[in-house]
Amino acid sequence: MSLNPQARWHTFSSQDEINQAALQRILKAADEAIAKYGDFLIVLAGGSTPKAVYQLLAKADADWSKWHVYHNDDRCLPVDHVERNSKMAREAWLDHVAIPPSQIHDIPAELGNVAGAKAYAETLKGVRTFDLVILGLGEDGHTASLFPGQVVDNSADAVPVYNSPKPPADRITISQQRLNNTHEVMFLVTGAGKQEAVDHWRNGVAIPATLIQSPNGVDVYCFGVTLK
């Protein structure tokens, strides 16, 4: 199936509205995947907007035993560092539901970007197409840890990131190619600071976020930006 570069834009009038819409989208994707494949493979984003959605998921009713959780990127910091995406997701959601620990796949970024990426690529080896990838959008247009001006590395399913323009410099990201190997993509974009990146995206400027596509297109959930 050829990739469909079409992005579908959805605007919401409040933070609560976008959070609820994202929650329902995730739960629906889970139900559909479990019915079709017997399990649900979700890739999480970091950031404040996803955190609010994860807090809602912590109170949701779902067949948690069938969920498999991955992260699209993480920072090379100690496991318990406040800026680790895995720590945020566990505290907001994963520690509060009955997903088997063996089905929560944190990126071992504490090993450093090279060793950690190699280990996570092994974790992803043989894993089927993801069901839903959740992504954010940086003010510079980056997503996951795919940054402007950096070479796109698709040499493995998880790759090291050097010289990130945002500290820490060393990170690990799932590669563009592997993120695209998914049935659905949902971007969560909130705040006026993202306006320029959204304008670039909608005007056809090549920003890293536009590298992420799926055969079923991409849905961009927006609050606090204007679609021009």
How many Å apart are CA 15 and CA 148, to the nearest integer? 28
14 domain-assigned: yes
| Domain assignment present for 67 | yes
CATH number of the domain enclosing 187: 3.40.50.1360
pLDDT for residue 174 = 98
Residue numbers of the domain that contains 183 = 7-223
pLDDT tens for residues 28-73? 999 999 999 999 999 999 988 899 999 999 999 999 999 999 999 9
pLDDT tops 90 at residue 6: no
* 168 domain-assigned: yes
* pTM passes above 0.85: yes
Residue type, 114: V
Q: Is the pLDDT of residue 165 over 90?
A: yes
pLDDT score for 130: 98
Q: What pLDDT is recorded for position 5?
A: 56
Task: Mark 175-214 as b/e (b = at least 16 C-beta within 10 Å).
Answer: bbebbbbbbbbbbbbbeeebbebbebbeeeeebbbbbbbb
Residue 136 lies in a domain: yes
pLDDT digits (tens, 9 = 90+) for 87-96: 999 999 999 9
Query: Is the predicted pLDDT of residue 13 greater than 50, yes or no?
Result: yes
pLDDT band at residue 120 under the 50/70/90 scheme: very high
Cross-strand pairs, 220 = 9, 187
In-domain check, residue 184: yes
Q: Is the dihedral of CA 28, 183, 51, 34 positive or negative?
A: positive
228, part of any domain: no
Residues contacting 99, CB < 8 A, separation 6+: 64, 65, 67, 69
